[in-house]
Homo-oligomer: A and B are copies of this chain.
């Protein structure tokens, strides 16, 4: 369920974990209500410090994606999240813009970018 962490990557370890959970939820791989591993267990599995996993879970809780019940563990929220309306669209546009820039510099035409996205979407739905 979790893929290995890259400790040399530029994005901090705790955020790599956050992304993994968010991706899992967005793609449906992790269903609402699902119990997450204890931060200690996940730390062992990912070969990182327990505090680091804890920080990721805290971040997810702050984002309203995860709920922690004392003595029970951490769970994906049933109604995962209220999409913050405007701000999020802006973020979306910015990521899209970066994608376009990268594509241009790599010499990939627009149509190829669109096809790439369609392919990824199909892949995650299957």
Contacts and interface: CB of A to CB of B under 8 A. Distances in A.
A3 interface: no
Contacts of A41: none
Q: How many copies make up the complex? A: 4
Which residue, A8, A12, A27, has most C-beta atoms of chain B within 10 A?
A: A8
Interface in A99-113: 99-108, 110, 113
Interface of A: 7-8, 12-13, 19, 22-23, 25-27, 62, 65, 67-70, 72, 80-81, 83, 88-89, 91-93, 95-108, 110, 113-114, 116-118, 120-121, 124
For the complex of A and B, the 7 pairs showing the least CB-CB separation, nearest first, are A26-B104, A88-B106, A26-B101, A83-B107, A7-B69, A95-B99, A83-B106
